[in-house]
């Protein structure tokens, strides 16, 4: 594989751009309201398909330009590819109820308008209406220990957020191409960080960023994250990457994750206060209700960041994971040598219709009081060196203990306090998810 020294092409060859701002395209069409996916056991909103519409229409998921048909879903679950052969790891489904189909007399060939919070937003040209077996879908979406035992330790269940999203889908699905006909505006602070793939590519060219490494995040950055970004950006194949693109996942998350606003402004603080140079750092986000799919989710991350123009992507331990379902190094195994049971006999770079974005596999940083700061794990010989986990950090914050500068920059911790004051709690809880669903990140 040749070294990449220039911006890669969008995955699949072109960026999907399906935004017209012409509401007349749906004149006389039947309409449906976009309703969130609700966890049936708790009543908590766990997904809103508007985020998937935004990510499809603005090209983050290119070459995907639609909600999936039954054939698409079966191909993705069985082969982790679209029927056309392009890699795609997880089902993207617009689920509706039988009652909604019947009430609107929807049929294949119709164009259906999708309303968001009472406003026209987008449409789907219906290619297929098909039955969804949510139990089967949840069981198969991420693989099974029997089939994927090299990295999947146990079957996913109701404690896994991604499993819950698929398990709680309604019993029918509408498949077809998607288009936005009324662009929403982003609320503060999201408006400062919304950068589409087309826009990020333009910015990279303007700044002469030939090589850009992506940092996937769902966390406020602690000092370990800061060091990962700094060190990983010097792991390019020939030269240091020109820049770091922080791309946060914004949407409904599991209980206990940091709130989205703090994630974005926390990363912004590293740049604002000079800990990472503004000349080589940019903070952005993708709308997606995270599935916590570990190696499979990493493929989606690779697709998104290649579409944004990144040449490299850092992958760490427990990437996009939760609990102990996946091997903590599953993602690094996938990007290094492949995972045959998922359809990848080699790295996603080296298979037919593979990705171009290059992986930079990174380890963990630990704090060593003898060395006087963060060091790469196992690179110093001091037994005093200790790692600090995300759960440990969240625990001390929840107890009202101010973390030392060795864990959080003071300016980053100030961001946590700011949003703690607004939401009365620093992490995602039921009230936050309900408020997020009520307001969303956008308005008209």
String of DSSP letters for 245-257 = EEEEEES---TTS
Instruction: Note whether 198 and 145 are same-domain residues.
Output: no
**Which residue, of 150, 166, 184, is where some domain finishes?**
184
C-alpha closest to that of 65 among 18, 119, 126: 18
Query: Quick one: DSSP state of residue 87?
Result: B
439 found inside a domain: yes
Assigned token pair, 20: 């017209």
Give the dihedral sign, CA 90/94/99/101: negative
Question: Quick one: pLDDT band at residue 2, thresholds 50, 70, 90?
Answer: very low
Range in 182-186, 232-236, 366-370 the model is least confident about: 232-236
Residue 235 has pLDDT above 80, yes or no: no
Confidence of residue 7 (pLDDT cuts 50, 70, 90): very high
Assess if residue 395 is contained within a domain.
no
Q: Residues 179, 206: one domain?
A: no
> Mean pLDDT, the chain, as a whole number?
93
Total structural domains within the chain = 2
Q: Do 218 and 159 share a structural domain?
A: no
Same domain, 216 and 152: no
Token duo for residue 302: 């690779």
- Which of 163, 184, 205 represents a domain boundary (last residue)? 184
Instruction: Find, among 37, 323, 329, the residue nearest to 157 by Cα.
Output: 323
Each residue's pLDDT tens digit, 333-391: 999 999 999 999 999 999 999 999 999 988 777 777 787 777 767 777 787 777 766 67
Residues 169, 239 within the same domain: no
Residues 347 and 223 in one domain: yes
Query: pLDDT tens digit string along 244-278?
Result: 999 999 999 999 999 999 999 999 999 999 999 99
Residue with tokens 């996916």: 37
213 and 82 belong to one structural domain: no
Q: What is the pLDDT of residue 380?
A: 79
**H or E segment to which residue 47 belongs:** strand 45-47
User: What is the tens place of the pLDDT at every residue in 50-96?
Assistant: 999 999 999 999 999 999 999 999 999 999 999 999 999 999 999 99
CATH of the domain at 322: 3.40.50.620
pLDDT band at 403 (very low <50, low <70, confident <90, very high): confident
Considering the domain architecture, whether residues 298 and 251 belong to the same structural domain is answered as: yes
Q: What is the pLDDT of residue 142?
A: 98
Residue 239 pLDDT level (bands cut at 50, 70, 90): low
In this predicted structure, the answer to whether residue 1 has a pLDDT above a threshold of 50 is no
| Residues 113 and 120 sit within 8 Å (Cβ to Cβ) | yes
User: 127 lies in which domain range?
Assistant: 23-184
Alpha carbons 378 and 343: distance in angstroms, whole number: 34
For residue 9, is it within any domain? Answer: no
Please indicate, yes or no, whether residues 174 and 199 belong to a single structural domain of this protein.
Answer: no
Same-domain status, 171 and 297: no
220 and 281 share one domain: yes
Give CA–CA dist 196/367, Å, rounded.
Answer: 36
Per-residue pLDDT of 195-220, as tens digits, reads: 999 999 999 999 999 999 999 999 99
pTM above 0.75, yes or no: yes
């Amino acid at each position: 594989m040749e070294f990449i020294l220039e911006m890669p092409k969008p995955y699949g060859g072109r960026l999907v751009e399906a935004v017209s701002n012409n509401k007349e395209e749906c004149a006389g069409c039947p309409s449906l309201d976009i309703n969130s996916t609700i966890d049936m056991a708790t009543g908590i909103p766990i997904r809103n398909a508007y985020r998937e519409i935004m990510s499809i229409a603005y090209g983050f998921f290119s070459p995907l330009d639609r909600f999936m048909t039954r054939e698409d879903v079966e191909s993705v679950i069985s082969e982790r590819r679209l029927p056309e052969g392009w890699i795609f790891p997880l089902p993207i489904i617009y689920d509706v109820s039988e009652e909604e189909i019947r009430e609107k007399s929807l049929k294949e060939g119709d164009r259906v308008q999708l309303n968001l919070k009472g406003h026209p937003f987008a449409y789907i040209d219906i290619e297929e209406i098909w039955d969804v077996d949510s139990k089967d879908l949840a069981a198969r979406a991420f693989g099974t220990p029997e089939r994927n035992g090299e990295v999947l330790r146990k079957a996913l269940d109701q404690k896994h957020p991604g499993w819950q999203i698929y398990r709680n889908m309604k019993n029918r699905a509408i498949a077809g191409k998607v288009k936005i006909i009324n662009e929403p505006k982003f609320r503060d602070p999201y408006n400062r960080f919304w950068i589409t793939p087309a826009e990020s590519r333009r910015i990279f060219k303007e700044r002469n960023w030939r090589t850009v490494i992506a940092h996937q995040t769902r966390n406020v950055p602690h000092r370990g994250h800061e060091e990962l970004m700094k060190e990983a950006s010097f792991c390019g194949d020939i030269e240091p990457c020109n820049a770091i693109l922080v791309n946060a996942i914004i949407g409904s998350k599991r209980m206990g994750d940091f709130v989205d606003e703090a994630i974005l402004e926390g990363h912004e603080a590293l740049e604002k206060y000079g800990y990472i140079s503004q000349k080589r750092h940019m903070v952005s986000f993708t709308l997606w209700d995270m599935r916590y799919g570990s190696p499979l989710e990493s493929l989606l991350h690779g697709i998104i960041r290649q579409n944004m123009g990144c040449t490299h992507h850092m992958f760490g331990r427990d990437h996009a994971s939760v609990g102990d379902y996946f091997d903590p190094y599953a993602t690094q195994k996938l990007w290094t040598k492949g995972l045959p049971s998922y359809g990848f006999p080699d790295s996603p770079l080296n298979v037919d219709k593979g990705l171009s974005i290059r992986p930079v596999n990174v380890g963990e940083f630990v704090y060593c009081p003898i060395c006087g700061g963060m060091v790469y794990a196992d690179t110093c010989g001091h037994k005093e060196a200790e790692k600090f986990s995300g759960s440990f950090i969240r625990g001390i914050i929840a107890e009202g203990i101010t973390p030392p500068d060795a864990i959080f920059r003071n300016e980053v911790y100030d961001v946590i306090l700011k949003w703690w004051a607004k939401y009365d709690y620093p992490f995602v809880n039921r009230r936050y998810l309900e408020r997020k669903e009520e307001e969303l990140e956008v308005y008209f």
